[in-house]
Amino acid sequence: MNFTPNDLSNIVFRRSVVRGVDENQVYEVIQKIIEDYSDYIRELMKAKEQVMELKDRLAHYEKMEDTLKKSLILAQQSSSEIISNAEKKAENIIAEAQNKAKEIIDEANREVVKIQFEAERLKKDMAVYKSKALSLLQSQMKLLNEME
């Protein structure tokens, strides 16, 4: 860098006797100013390019962040749905098992009642058989006694 703003405001050109200001000195100052201005423009353009690149990268990362947030929300919703479905399935399995157990118990109770009725019928049949057998034996005994 050739000049600072303060240097530029304090430049004093030498006067030549014939033409006023020394042209060579003015051209040198102008050339240094052009060089400085060109350097500033290049630095400014470079800085603008860096800013644009950083903005692009920031936008990319913001998109990634947004995508990650959406993915996280979706994953949370999915896990909630999976848990809810699993709980419903478990409740259904338990309800089915309870219904099946109730059916088995009801069937067993019906079978017990059926067996009890069958046992009662057999007892009655046995009593009838016993009564008939006794009657037959008594009649046979009577017949034997009469034969003597």
pLDDT, residue 29, reads 83
Q: What is the pLDDT of residue 13?
A: 66
Q: Where are the domains of the chain?
A: 5-147
Residue 19 backbone phi and psi in degrees, to 5: -110, 0
Structure-token pair, residue 111: 């079978």
What's the 3-state SS for the chain?
Answer: CCCCHHHHHCCCCCEECCCEECHHHHHHHHHHHHHHHHHHHHHHHHHHHHHHHHHHHHHHHHHHHHHHHHHHHHHHHHHHHHHHHHHHHHHHHHHHHHHHHHHHHHHHHHHHHHHHHHHHHHHHHHHHHHHHHHHHHHHHHHHHHHHC
Q: Note the pLDDT tens digit of each residue in 10-41.
A: 777 666 666 677 677 878 888 888 888 888 88
List, for residues 94-104, the tens digit of each pLDDT value: 999 999 999 99
